[in-house]
């Protein structure tokens, strides 16, 4: 049921399982059609004050090479990659250790991790603002301890923004990796150890390769949204740096240039696909994480 191994290996026989149809139809109706709309807009000229005209243009795509836009792309990419790396660095050990607890404890930990995420994310970010602001508890503590003479500027800089990004996206990484680690066959690792591999070696040659599907899924789930998030840089970064998400929002809402907003979105989409494609090729994963 999981797969028809013979047909799969044998190659090209056309089989469509009937359970794919709902997904197929839904995607065609509610993803593909709106996407066509976005693509269409991206080839049109903006109207003088509001809306779009019917005139075709390639100008929007040419403006992508404007140095400002290129810089924004570069910066967003850097932020997204660093966020992914940091969440992986924290998320992997967390998921790994969690999976080693007894079943009752580990499902409790995962629920504990997820519970706050059912509460509005802006509220949680607001908690960080209260915590870190000039007259907030952290600064008060530092000053009481004599570690600071005057309130430190903890907010509205790149560091605060990264903190927010990691905080907001960490659970995506953890749950994906946890899914992979949790179903690990620990006897394989035991076997490697029995054959004389050091714990580190066993970890990197056996455990990590076995959990690559989870890592890839986690990285995709973190990388993709971190390219487009705008409210974290607005709230914790003081709106001083321009990421792709902010740029697109500005184009759509402040400059009222919908075609350019659409073009930037399409560019971001292609860029994300390309990056994930390369990433997949490098890690050797072909069919995982939903994107081939």
64 lines the binding site for another protein (CB under 8 A): no
The answer to the question of residue 126 lying near another protein (CB under 8 A) is yes
54 binds another protein (CB under 8 A): no
Tokens standing for 14? 């056309």
DSSP 104: H
Q: Report which secondary-structure segment, H or E, holds 94.
A: helix 67-100
Handedness of CA 16, 22, 24, 25 (dihedral sign): positive
Residue 161 binds to another protein (criterion: CB under 8 A): no
Q: What are phi and psi of 11, to 5 degrees?
A: 120, -110
CA nearest 256: which of 35, 49, 19, 30?
A: 49
172 binds another protein (CB under 8 A): yes
Give 51: exposed, middle or buried? Use CB within 10 Å, 0-12, 13-18, 19+.
Answer: exposed
Q: Mask of contacts with another protein, 65-104, x by CB under 8 A?
A: -x-xx-xx--x--------------x--xx--xx-xx---
Find the binding residues for another protein in span 9-28 (CB under 8 A). Answer: 12-20, 22-24, 26-27
Q: What is the DSSP letter of 204?
A: I
Site size for another protein (CB under 8 A): 139
Contact between 170 and another protein per CB under 8 A: yes
176 binds another protein (CB under 8 A): yes
256 forms part of the interface with another protein (CB under 8 A): yes
The one among 86, 161, 222, 244 contacting another protein by CB under 8 A: 244
Residue indicated by tokens 């066509």: 36
Q: Which of 58, 62, 137, 208 forms a contact with another protein (CB under 8 A)?
A: 137
Q: Cα–Cα distance between 62 and 43 in angstroms, integer?
A: 11
One of 62, 141, 159, 190 touching another protein (CB under 8 A):
190
Q: Which is nearer to another protein, 82 or 212 (CB)?
A: 212
């Amino acid at each position: 049921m999981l797969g028809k191994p013979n047909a799969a290996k044998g190659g090209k026989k056309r089989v469509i399982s009937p359970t794919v149809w709902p997904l197929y139809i839904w995607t065609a109706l509610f993803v593909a059609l709106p996407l066509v709309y976005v693509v269409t807009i991206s080839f049109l000229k903006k109207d003088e004050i509001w809306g779009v005209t019917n005139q075709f243009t390639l100008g929007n795509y040419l403006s992508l090479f404007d140095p400002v836009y290129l810089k924004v792309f570069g910066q967003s990419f850097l932020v997204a990659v660093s966020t992914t790396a940091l969440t992986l660095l924290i998320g992997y050990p967390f998921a790994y250790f969690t999976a080693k607890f007894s079943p009752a404890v580990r499902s409790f930990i995962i629920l504990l991790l997820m519970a706050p995420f059912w509460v509005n994310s802006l509220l949680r970010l607001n908690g960080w603002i209260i915590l870190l602001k000039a007259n907030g508890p952290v600064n008060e503590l530092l000053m009481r301890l004599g570690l600071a003479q005057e309130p430190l500027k903890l907010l509205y800089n790149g560091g605060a923004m990264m903190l927010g990004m990691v905080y907001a996206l960490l659970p995506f990484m953890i749950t994906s990796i946890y899914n992979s680690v949790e179903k690990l066959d620990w006897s394989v690792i035991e076997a490697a150890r029995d054959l004389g591999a050091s714990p580190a070696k066993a970890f990197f040659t056996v455990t990590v390769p076995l959990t690559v599907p989870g890592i890839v899924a986690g990285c995709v789930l973190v990388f993709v949204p971190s390219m487009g998030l705008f409210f974290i840089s607005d709230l914790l970064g003081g709106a001083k740096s321009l990421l792709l998400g902010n740029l697109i929002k500005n184009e759509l809402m402040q400059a009222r240039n919908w075609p350019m907003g659409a073009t930037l979105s399409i560019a971001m989409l292609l860029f994300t696909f390309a990056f994930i494609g390369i990433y997949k090729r490098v890690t050797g994963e072909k069919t995982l994480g939903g994107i081939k």
